[in-house]
């Protein structure tokens, strides 16, 4: 009888443990999937190309002063395709609007090489200097050999 009980117990334990084992086998393993790293690339803003020509005559410092002091420029920011209207005052400040709604102001000055430099109040650490030349009825402000602004002066 003890033998029978041992055999019966062995069979039951085998059945229970094999059942548990088979349940474990049936349970799917959780797998960790490495997330893909997506590289976010900022779009590059391209300026309209300016042909490098030896015939481009940038304005002198005196020509730029005569052109801008006390006058208003109207035209296009070619980088952002915005309309601009900026008045350059005699006290070396400027005020104006971009897209007829965003007000801009700051200081401006002319370097010895004729580059017009501006420093906006909202961007106090940034100074932008552009050389100027005449193109037909317009004046073009260029950074290096890339057109930035195309304006008329009144």
In a domain, 42, yes or no: no
Which CATH number is 81's domain given? 2.40.128.640
**What residues in the chain have per-residue pLDDT under 50?**
20-26, 45-52
For the chain, percent helix, then strand, then coil, each to nearest 5?
A: 25, 40, 40
Q: Are 115 and 109 in contact (CB under 8 A)?
A: no
Domain assignment of residue 88, yes or no: yes
Q: What residues make up the domain containing 88? A: 61-153
Domain tally, the chain: 1
Q: Is residue 135 part of a domain?
A: yes
Its pTM stands at: 0.62
Q: Which pLDDT belongs to residue 18?
A: 55
Whether residue 1 lies inside any domain: the answer is no
pLDDT in tens, 79-124: 889 999 999 999 999 999 988 788 999 999 999 999 999 998 876 6
Mean residue pLDDT of the chain comes to: 77
**Both tokens assigned to 110:** 């002319």
């Amino acid at each position: 009888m003890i033998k029978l009980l041992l055999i019966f117990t062995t069979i039951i334990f085998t059945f229970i443990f094999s059942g548990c084992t088979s349940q474990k086998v049936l349970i799917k393993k959780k797998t960790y999937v490495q997330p893909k790293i997506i590289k976010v690339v900022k779009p590059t803003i391209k300026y309209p190309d300016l042909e490098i020509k030896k015939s481009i005559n940038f304005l002198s410092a005196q020509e730029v002063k005569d052109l801008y002091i006390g006058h208003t420029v109207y035209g296009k920011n070619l980088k952002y395709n915005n309309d601009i209207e900026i008045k350059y005052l005699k006290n070396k400040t400027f005020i104006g609007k971009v897209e007829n709604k965003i007000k801009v102001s700051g200081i401006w000055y002319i370097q010895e090489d004729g580059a017009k430099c501006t420093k906006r109040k909202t961007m106090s650490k940034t100074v932008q200097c552009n050389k100027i030349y005449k193109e037909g009825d317009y004046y073009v402000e260029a950074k290096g050999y890339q057109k930035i602004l195309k304006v008329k002066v009144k």
